[in-house]
Chain A
Amino acid sequence: MSGGPLPDGWWLPPSFRPGPPPGGLVEPGWIEALVAHLRRAGETLRRTTTVDARIAALDAAAEHWLQRLGGEEPLVDVIAADTGLSPAMVRRCIEAEQTSSRGPDLAATLDAELGDRRALDGFQPQRRLRRQLRAVPPGLVLAVLPGNIPGLSHLPILRSLLLGSPVLAKAASGEPRYAAAYVASLAAFMPELAEAVAVVRWPRGADDVESRLAGLADAAIVFGRSETIAAWGARVPRDRPFVAHGHRVGLQLVDGAWVGRRRRVFDELALDVAMYDQAACLAPQRMLVRGSEAEAERVGRALAAALDRLHGRLPLGAGTLADVATRRRYRDELEWGEPAEARILADGPWGMVVLDRRRPWRPTCGRRTIAISAVPDWPSALAALADWRPWLQNAALAVPADDRRPLAEALAELGCTRICPPGAMPFPSMRWHHDGLPTLSAMVRYCDVEGAAETPLRGDWLNGGRSGG
């Protein structure tokens, strides 16, 4: 009833005997068998490895990928063909993701979120809180992987394995290959990790499979469109952790006078726009320039020049047909519209810069297209940004030092979850509270060993000492 070669982009635990389903057609019964296998693999993973050992293995895998990218890597061209990104951009994407996945960052993030990462291995004393704490990871994580950024699909897998949880991942149709390649690479450093992961695909609308899986998982990490997140949110039982990363949008706040003609700053702003060809939630879609219309136009032209320069070493990809069609639609909206309201300031094979007076502010079509609007002052601009609250994520500040703190405070209130200098927008660290969430601690269940409120535990009660104060 099963067998055959593994479909492209799939990874199954090497010892999962049924192998892939015939024709790659996933059915609820097969999913149940896979889930049972993964749960057992997760138990083995937690029993035989420590969190520090897993961190070391994941760090070694990151190092492996960074070295692999230094040479010929056929996967890069395959992913470039799938995604419409240039091979140089695919390399840069994977490099960025693996650079943020190094051991010290993983350890620091776990410690920041859990207090002590070793709570994943067993009860750990927290003396100041007079308790012992255990963090129990999910017995199985369901992950719906992102497909917009090559390399990012490793993140939900890495988060799960870091905690010691097995993961059943659904690969994205937009970029279906990297996740399986990443898991395959883990086998060399810690086979137990690769044994605890499955990466599979099934067609949209396979309700029976998705409902069954949602009921079987102890936690879910879902990347995707709003409809995708809503659909999974409705399936996953309410008592299970559900970490969702949906559509988001970024922006750049630039003080026209401060930025002046600093070429380096424009190069950094251009990198923010260009990275991932703007398909990432991290990417800015709009630049607000404090100053006159003329100032905004000058900034726009300098940015266009910087984007053109960047295109030489990090080319804009050909894009998928849907990407290019979306750009056509946006371009038509501008060209058939009223030029006094919005006009294309500059465009080329490197992208497009638009001077846009229209309100409300809207995102652009991506593909390195940024809309620039002049704003007379920050308070009025921030008031207008209230419309962006459901989506606002990442903001770069190219403003005088004295303006940074008040702007950051206001942006945080508006819903922004990451603020950074120009050039840092595409490169968040693992420590970032992604979309404002503690993404690791949100997945675990805590167990505290403590005494009564008035008689806290003292000493080593858990190890046989007496209780009470």
Chain B
Amino acid sequence: MTDLAERILDWIQAAPFGAQPPDELALAVLARQIEATPTWRRLQPSLPGRLDPSTVRPWPVDLYKRAPAAAPMGGRIFSTSGTSGHQPGLVAYSVADMALMDAAIDRNAARHLFPDGPARTRILVLAPPPEARPQMIMAYGMARLIERFGLPGSRFYIGPDGLDAAALAADLASAVDEGTPVTLIGATFGFVQLADAWAAAGHRLALPPGSRVMDAGGNKGRARELSRSAFAALVEATFGVTPRWQTNLLGMTELGSQIYDHVVGDPDPRPVKRPPPWMRSWVVDPERLAPVADGAEGLLVHLDLANLDHPALVLTQDLGRRRGDGFEILGRAEGAEARGCSVALDEFAAAGLGA
């Protein structure tokens, strides 16, 4: 590892939660990346001493869709989801990126999802395993959680034919019988579909104490939209896991790190995401990219020191509201969501007419 990678790794492993990435470290990472990228260099010929998205141009996530990423020696390629109207993008992770991502996953999970220590729960994942989806970063991360934190019997439940609902139901029932706490992990909309199906079948469970639920992504724009509190109530009604033992994860293929909104078991869960000390997030005005005032809405920009060899300052298409030193996700700012019956950029893209 290079000195810079070592310094970042140290920071990820030891920085106190509540701290922010030092500007000096962040600017060193960005200077290296900007120097290596002609277009970024053209738009950002020099770096200021202070870091925010109005002074350093963030890398738009759409750029990953422009050109195929070349697999770095010994590294990995992950693919962004190609949701309706979107081409998938490819993000290359170097060896150093992978090591930093692993460290970020471990420290974040130890803090937010397993504050009571490893090997306390059986981890059941409503996602395909990494062998089936090697380019899905969520599958990689969940496998890492199973490896580092799961009890024997932890596993994935999505196969070539979709969710193996029977196996999941049987394993959950066994866990209840044994009194083994469970960590249920999955995409938010997957939980909604599962809970709806169980409700229709009159099926519900009370998982053993210490069980927890982590959902990733969100539900905005889905066929059935639910508020965060309605989602939490649905999960509690279906699995018997109270909101206090639920947490939501924001993860992006473009970022090696993730952002949780709650430490499970802590009282007063509030849907506010606070980045870990090696990340920083801003809610910015889309026009000028300047950070907005507390309570205001805008686009999310993330700085992630774990992104050493791919862009560390990223402009997302996620809309958020600033909440003190954290933020709340509001949904995606897709072209198709913009007001108007004028044809959306995304609709043209879906028809194969440009990105």
A interface residues, Cβ below 8 angstroms from B: 83-84, 146-148, 174, 203-205, 207, 223-227, 245-250, 278-281, 283, 285, 320-330, 332-333, 335-336, 358, 360, 362-366, 387, 390-391
- Nearest chain B CB to A239 CB, angstrom units: 26
Q: Check A387 against B342 for contact (C-beta < 8 Å).
A: no
**A204 to B223 alpha-carbon distance, docked (Å):** 7
Known: A358-B354, A363-B348. A325 touches B342 (CB 8 A): no
Interchain CA distance A329-B317 in the complex, whole Å: 8
A283: which B residues are within 8 A, CB to CB?
Answer: 342
Contact with A along B342-355 (1 / 0, CB 8 A): 11110110010111
- B224 at the A interface (CB under 8 A): yes
Contact in complex: A279, B339 (CB < 8 Å): yes
Nearest CB on A from B224, distance (A): 4
Binds A, one of B109-117, B197-205, B254-262, B329-337: B329-337
B335 and A365: CB pair below 8 A? yes
In-complex Cβ contact of A280 among B298, B315, B340 (8 A): B340
Contacts of B285 in A (CB 8 A): 324
Which of chain B's residues has its CB closest to A332's CB? B60
- Give the interface residue-count category, chain B: 35 or more
CB distance from B331 to the nearest CB of A (A): 9
Cβ contacts under 8 Å, A363 to chain B: 342-345, 348
A-B contact pairs, 13 of them (CB 8 A): A223-B341, A246-B341, A247-B347, A248-B343, A279-B340, A321-B297, A321-B319, A322-B338, A325-B333, A326-B338, A329-B60, A362-B348, A365-B335
A147 contacts B339, CB within 8 Å?
yes
Contact B287 A323 (CB under 8 A): no
Q: A83-B339, A204-B225, A225-B344 provided; 20 other pairs, C-beta below 8 A? A: A224-B341, A245-B341, A248-B342, A248-B343, A250-B342, A278-B342, A279-B340, A280-B341, A285-B342, A321-B333, A325-B317, A325-B338, A326-B335, A327-B286, A327-B287, A329-B62, A336-B63, A360-B354, A362-B353, A366-B342
Give the complex CA separation of A328 and B339 in angstroms. 15
For the complex of A and B, the 5 pairs showing the least CB-CB separation, nearest first, are: A279-B340, A325-B333, A328-B286, A247-B343, A332-B60
- Bound: A366/B335 CA distance, A: 10
For A226, give the chain B residue with the smallest CB separation. B347
Of all chain A residues, the one with the shortest Cβ separation from B349 is A362
Contact with A along B84-124 (1 / 0, CB 8 A): 10000000000000000000000000000000000000000
Give chain A nearest CB distance to B308 CB in angstroms. 21
The residues of B that contact A333 with a CB separation of less than 8 Å are 60, 62, 355
- Are A325 and B341 in contact (CB-based, < 8 A)? no
Q: Are B299 and A225 in contact (CB under 8 A)?
A: no
Bound state CA distance, A328 and B60, in angstroms? 10
Q: Mark B38-55, 1 if CB is under 8 A from A, else 0.
A: 010001000000000000
Provide the bound-state CA to CA distance between A390 and B344, in Å.
13
Contact call A325/B345, Cβ cutoff below 8 A: no
Contact with A along B138-176 (1 / 0, CB 8 A): 000000000000000000000000000000000000000
- A380 to B63 alpha-carbon distance, docked (Å): 31
Give Cα A250 to B105, complex, Å: 49
Q: Which residues of B contact A328 (CB under 8 A)?
A: 286-287, 289, 299, 315
Partner of A248, one of B225, B287, B341, B345: B341
CB distance from A447 to the nearest CB of B (A): 34
**Would B342 and A174 count as touching, CB distance under 8 A?**
no
In the bound complex, residues from chain A placing their C-beta under 8 Å from that of B344 are 225, 247, 363
Q: How far is the CB of A175 from chain B (nearest CB, A)?
A: 8
Residues on A with beta carbons closer than 8 Å to the beta carbon of B39:
336
| A151: min CB distance to chain B, Å | 14
Which residues of B from 198 to 239 have beta carbons under 8 Å from A?
222-225
Q: Which of A146, A207, A248, A249 has the most CB of B within 10 A?
A: A249
Question: Quick one: closest A residue to B355, CB to CB?
Answer: A333
Contact A332 B341 (CB under 8 A): no
The answer on a CB contact under 8 Å between A279 and B341 is: yes
In the complex, the answer to whether B339 meets A325 with C-beta atoms within 8 Å is no
Residues of A within 8 A of B298 (CB): 321
- In whole angstroms, how far apart are the Cα atoms of A328 and B342 in the complex? 17
* Chain B residues with CB below 8 A from A227, complex form: 84
Which residue of A84, A146, A362, A387 contacts B341 across the interface (Cβ within 8 Å)?
A146
- Which residues of the other chain, B, contact A250 by a CB distance below 8 angstroms? 342
Q: Report if A279-B43 is in contact (Cβ < 8 Å); known contacts: A325-B319, A329-B62.
A: no
Give every chain A residue within 8 A of B319 (Cβ-Cβ): 321-322, 325
Q: Determine the residue in chain A with the shortest Cβ distance to B298.
A: A321
CB-defined contacts of A225 to chain B, threshold 8 Å? 336, 341, 344
Q: Which B residues are CB-close (under 8 A) to A204?
A: 223, 225
CB <8 Å contact, A84 and B224: no
Q: Is B342 in contact with A332, judged by CB distance below 8 angstroms?
A: no
B286 proximity list for chain A (CB < 8 A): 321, 324-325, 327-328
CB of A248 to closest CB in B, whole Å: 6
CB of B332 to closest CB in A, whole Å: 9
Distance to closest chain B CB from A234 (angstroms):
13
Chain B residues lying within 8 Å of A322, measured Cβ to Cβ, are 319, 333-334, 337-339
* Contact status of A387 and B62, CB under 8 A, knowing A247-B344, A279-B340, A328-B299: no
The distance in angstroms between the C-alpha atoms of A260 and B298, with both chains bound, is 42
Q: How far is the CB of A338 from chain B (nearest CB, A)?
A: 9
Contact A362 B338 (CB under 8 A): no
Q: Inside 8 A of A330's CB, which chain B residues have their CB?
A: 345
